[in-house]
Amino acid sequence: MSPDMIVSLGQKALEMTMILAMPILLATFLVGLAVSIFQAATQIQEMTLAYIPKIVAAMVTIFLLGGWMMSKLVDFTKEIMVNIPIWIR
């Protein structure tokens, strides 16, 4: 296995990680931003107020996009497993 192939595999793995993490991170970011704006507008400075909506947003996102995320991960794993004999030569 050449160094170029190792770097390419690492790059693909990082891309897959970003693709799978982005929906959850984006949802929690938007919910956190909305909660922060609400807290600033109402002068409620309760620290625990931000955690529950973010957790709910992450869970809803995983519930809605979990099938898509799993299929992407399974396809990536299949691609790696199929190419192992080619890489070993």
Q: What is the pLDDT of residues 9-47, one digit of tens each?
A: 999 999 999 999 999 999 999 999 999 999 889 888 887
Domain boundaries, the chain: 3-88
- What band does 74 get if pLDDT is binned at 50, 70 and 90? very high
Q: What is the dihedral of CA 4, 6, 10, 11, to 10 degrees?
A: 20
Residue 86: its pLDDT value, please? 86
DSSP output for the chain = --HHHHHHHHHHHHHHHHHHHHHHHHHHHHHHHHHHHHHHHHT---GGGTHHHHHHHHHHHHHHHHHHHHHHHHHHHHHHHHHHHHHH-
* pLDDT in the model for residue 47: 79
Q: Tell me the per-residue pLDDT of 37-71, one tens digit each, with 9 for 90 and over.
A: 998 898 888 878 889 999 999 999 999 999 999 99
